[in-house]
Amino acid sequence: MKKVRAMIRLPSAIRPWVLMLLMLASATLVRGALDPWLGTRFPLLTYYPLTVFVALFAGLWPAAVSIVLSASFSGLLFGPPGSFAQDAVALAIYVPTNIVLIVLIERVRHAGEDARRRERAFRESETAGTAQRGLLQAALVSVDAGVHSWNPMTGQAHWDSRMRSLFGFAPDHPASHEALMARVHPDDRARVEAAVARATTAGGPSRYSVEYRILRGDDELRWISSTGFAVFEGDRLVRVVGTGRDVTERRRVEAALRDSEQRFATLAEGSPVLLWVHGPDGGEFVNRAYLEFVGVDSDQDVRGHDWSRYVHPEDREEYLRSYQRAFAAQTRFTAEFRFRRHDGEYRWMRSDATPRFGDEGEFQGYVGATVDITERRSAEDALRAADRHKDEFLAMLAHELRNPLAPIRNASEVLALRYAGDPQAAAPIAMLLRQSEHLARLLDDLLDLTRIAQGRVTLKERSLEIGGIVGQAVETVGPLAHAKSQVLRLEREQTPLYVSGDRTRLVQSVTNVLHNAVKFTHVGGEIVIAVRGAGSDVEITVRDNGAGIRAELVPRVFDLFVRNERTPDRSQGG
């Protein structure tokens, strides 16, 4: 075992020679073992197999050396002494015979090695071809392409299963170039034939790529993208190979996109509104109305951020800042600003823009519209002026009405004292007092409204105990409730609740709510006002069994001059 391992570890160049020496020693030992029977006869008998073995497993040169060594050993060890003629005859037979054997064996060995190399190369080529065919099939499947080939010399054609399915042919339908062309739409057939003819002409491009329509057997129209190449042997065309792929959906999307772009172009060019498209680097497109407004001939004059020079200098910085904030946040953009028209006049404009995104969700800029709102702004200014004049008139009216109201109230109180015991005068005097009080309250409310509209109301905020505020309002409204035989009850917690506010305005607000409750609650009704804590807030609720408020009025209950249905009795106003 150790000897074998030692030989295995020998360098490859030495191994054949070691093998030859081992075989030579073995042949010599065997001849020595046969010597009692053979004597001096056949001294080279056991060396014939040696040459064959060494030639097969050690190679040409070890075999040739083994001939020389075996001839020497046999003559020295086993030949008859002094018989040169016998040795010469034996060597004359042994040496040529073994040389012939060595040459034949070497040729056979080389032929075997060549055959094995060719077989190995064939297997590798077949494996590579199989792998390439697999890759090709996978590629064709991935793009859903069919394959066809055609020999113009013999007319023989071949279609794979995908090609048959693509063109609507049955599995057993005979394949031919003519059958494929027959499925091509008549309006496209000449174009397809011309593309194939150019590729199959000697000296031509040898490749073609064309898209066309086909009419399948079920009359379904499909778009096909076909690519192929021609194979020549010299100038002789021997085969045409091509692929076909269904691109109907892509064609439909492209047609829809073209229609959409055409509609947008028509709409943009015919619209009186200033339409624009911005990208990451600023303006990319403006319509004709935009160009005519600013007085330029080409949208190149408003590319990038050049359009900003038409914005009024006082509005430009704020407009650009608002645009950049919206751009960074990728949100809708809205702004009102002054924009210079071609005649130099600045017009008030409003821009509204919507973000646009790509197929992968990447932000691509804005699509926007800018409209002239100068007339609207003028109308708003006029309305604000009219509203201001109205407020001034109401304030003056309230002040002027308070002047005659004071003597009327004083006279009513004097009459009440003078005719206190007269039952006939009691009713009209009470009505006069009540209506004068109501008119005074209306004038106070009117003055408050004008102060609020003019922004002249100042609140004196401080910490207040809300129970006292509500109690004061109850005391104010109490006489009105008593006059209608109503029960007015205050429910409050024992723990004081504090708020921050203006005492006068809070009392006024609660009083107004209670006054409405009294007014719209029938005679003998009940009104309950409750005050309670609600976390960090204070909750005030008014509950009565009066007419109530219609559901549709609830969202508008705190708007100015909103009221419920009129009651037959309007003696208390409201």
10-residue block means of pLDDT along the chain (574 residues)?
48 76 76 70 70 72 76 66 57 72 75 78 67 54 72 84 84 87 90 88 85 84 88 85 86 84 70 84 84 81 75 91 91 92 92 88 89 90 81 71 74 77 77 75 71 69 86 85 86 86 83 86 89 87 83 73 55 43
**CB proximity list for 440: less than 8 A, separation 6 or greater:** 402, 405, 409
Spell out the domains of the chain, with CATH numbers in brackets: 2-116 (no CATH), 143-246 (3.30.450.20), 253-372 (3.30.450.20), 375-457 (1.10.287), 458-556 (3.30.565.10)
End-to-end CA, the chain: 125
pLDDT of amino acid 5: 45
d(CA 286, CA 274): 7
pLDDT of amino acid 7: 44
Closest CA to 298 of 283, 286, 316, 282: 286
Closest CA to 380 of 333, 348, 338, 353: 348
Report the SS3 class of residue 520.
Answer: coil
pLDDT of amino acid 312: 92
Q: Across the strands, what pairs with 446?
A: none
DSSP 1: -
**CB proximity list for 119: less than 8 A, separation 6 or greater:** none
Q: Is residue 26 within 8 Å of 73, Cβ to Cβ?
A: no
pLDDT of amino acid 503: 82
Tokens of residue 57, six digits: 């497993």
Task: Sheet with 236-246: list strands edge to edge.
Answer: 157-159, 145-150, 236-246, 221-233, 207-215
d(CA 36, CA 126): 60
**Other CB atoms closer than 10 Å to residue 173's CB: what's the count?**
13
pLDDT of amino acid 1: 43
pLDDT of amino acid 507: 83
pLDDT of amino acid 4: 44
pLDDT of amino acid 574: 41
404 vs 428, 438, 478, 573, CA distance in Å? 19, 14, 28, 20
Each residue of 112-144: pLDDT tens digit? 777 778 877 777 766 665 555 555 555 555 556
d(CA 233, CA 236): 5
Parallel/antiparallel/unpaired status of strands 145-150 and 157-159 = antiparallel
Beta-sheet strands, E only, within 153-235: 157-159, 207-215, 221-233
